């Protein structure tokens, strides 16, 4: 596996599947990399699966959160190699955002500003994600890229960006990987203490309970109540159209998604699931 820091070296890799990350890799990332490796093999791409590790400063609306973000490069490189990546691209901030170069304009697709979701609680976050992913695509030039369903709104924003800008990168979704008990894997789980466990588990439990409700408004009420009862502070607990992320009524036709975000102590957690549904598969036995 190659470690590349200079974008000029990327050209020698050949066509590839790309998995962008901010490092602090866990089994959820490993699953995304394995999807990337399988996709590259299936398409006969000589560049294999390229993983980027870059903690993107422009997507943090809180500098303390950026500083606190776990950085575990040595372990990350081992995880990439163990999952079959052909190369890791770990650029400097200057390589991604060259000093003196004007920031490219970002006009967010409507799904990024769907009312009451990430934009309300993390203003500016999707501008940063949009900028960095577009820039990484420009540097890596992938044929396809893998994004986790755990960040459902991000997945929708990136799909809309690719379509709108005609970037010609196929977006491949990767299912959320869960710990036993249902907690969605996240780099932020490292900040949870044993005393936070019940509150953290309440997000996936709430999604499961909501999946059994037939009415979106009732499903939202149930999710909010379950999270509060367990000690989490919900930011949102909603059922939305799975693609536009706009509110839906009782007779909604087409795929819908339940999405939750909550603070557990000082840690912000996100999760989502298809709605209605009866469980997650992984970890569902414990729910």
- CA dihedral sign, ordered 86, 92, 96, 98: negative
Q: In terms of CB distance, is 114 or 270 closer to ligand PAF?
A: 270
Residue 20 as a binder of ligand PAF (CB under 6 A): the answer is yes
Determine phi and psi for 32, rounding to 5 degrees.
-65, -40
Q: How far is the CB of 136 from ligand PAF (least distance, A)?
A: 8
Q: What is the largest CA-CA distance in the chain?
A: 54
Q: Find the shortest distance in angstroms from Cβ 206 to ligand PAF.
A: 22
Structure tokens given for 74: 């040595």
State the Cα–Cα distance between residues 208 and 202, nearest whole angstrom: 10
- Phi and psi at 145, nearest 5°, equal -140, 145
In this complex, which beta carbon is closest to ligand PAF, that of residue 46 or of residue 92? 92
Please report the DSSP string for 62-85 in residue order.
SHHHHHHS---HHHHHHHHHHTT-
Q: Which is nearer to ligand PAF, 152 or 224 (CB)?
A: 152
Q: Per-residue x/- marks for ligand PAF, 43-82, CB under 6 A?
A: -------------x--x-----------------------
Question: At its nearest, how many Å lie between ligand PAF and the CB of residue 22?
Answer: 4
Per DSSP, the residues of 269-284 read EEEEEEES-S--STTG
Nearer to ligand PAF, 152 or 280 (CB): 152
Give the residue, chosen from 132, 160, 201, 210, that forms a contact with ligand PAF under the rule CB under 6 A.
132
- What three-state secondary structure class fits 143? coil
Among 10, 16, 17, 22, binds ligand PAF (CB under 6 A): 22
In angstroms, rounded to a whole number, what is the distance separating the alpha carbons of residues 105 and 29? 29
> Rule CB under 6 A: is residue 151 a binding residue for ligand PAF?
yes
Cβ at position 203, least distance to ligand PAF in Å: 17
| Nearest to ligand PAF of 28, 211 (CB atom) | 28
Min dist. Cβ of residue 53 to ligand PAF (A): 9
Number of residues lying near ligand PAF (CB under 6 A): 10
C-alpha–C-alpha distance, residues 45 and 48, integer Å = 6
Decide: is 129 part of the binding site for ligand PAF (CB under 6 A): yes
Of 153, 151, 146, nearest to 187 by C-alpha is: 151
Cβ atoms of residues 96 and 134 within 8 Å: no
107, 165 Cβ separation under 8 angstroms: no
Could you say whether residue 272 binds ligand PAF (CB under 6 A)? no
133: contact with ligand PAF by CB under 6 A? yes
Whether 29 is catalytic: yes
Which residue ranges make up the site for ligand PAF (CB under 6 A)? 20-22, 56, 59, 129, 132-133, 151, 154
By annotation, the residues acting in catalysis are 29
């Amino acid at each position: 596996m190659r470690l590349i820091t200079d974008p000029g070296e990327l050209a020698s890799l050949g066509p590839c599947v790309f998995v962008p990350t901010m490092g602090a890799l866990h089994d959820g990332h490993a699953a995304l990399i394995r999807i990337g490796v399988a996709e590259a093999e299936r398409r006969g791409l000589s560049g294999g699966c390229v993983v980027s590790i870059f903690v993107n400063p422009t997507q943090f609306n809180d500098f303390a959160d950026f500083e606190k973000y776990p950085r575990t490069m040595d372990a990350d490189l081992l995880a990439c190699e163990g999952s079959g990546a052909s190369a890791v691209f770990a650029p400097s901030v200057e390589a991604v955002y060259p000093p003196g170069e004007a920031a490219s304009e970002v006009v967010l697709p409507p799904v990024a500003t769907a009312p009451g979701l990430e934009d309300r609680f993390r203003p500016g976050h999707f501008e940063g994600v949009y900028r960095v992913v577009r820039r990484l695509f420009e540097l890596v030039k992938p044929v396809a890229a893998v994004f986790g369903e755990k960040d459902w709104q991000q997945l929708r924003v990136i799909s809309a960006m690719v379509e709108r800008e005609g970037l010609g990168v196929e977006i491949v979704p990767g299912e959320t990987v869960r710990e036993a008990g249902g907690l969605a894997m996240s780099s932020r789980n490292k900040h949870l203490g044993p005393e936070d466990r019940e509150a953290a588990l309440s997000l996936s439990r709430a999604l499961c309970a909501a999946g059994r409700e037939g009415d979106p408004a009732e499903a939202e009420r149930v999710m909010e109540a379950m999270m509060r009862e367990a000690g989490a502070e919900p930011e949102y607990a909603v059922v939305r159209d799975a693609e536009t992320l706009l509110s839906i009524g009782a007779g909604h036709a087409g795929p819908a998604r339940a999405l939750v975000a909550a603070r557990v102590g000082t840690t912000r957690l996100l999760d989502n699931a298809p709605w209605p549904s009866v469980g997650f598969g992984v970890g569902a036995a414990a729910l």
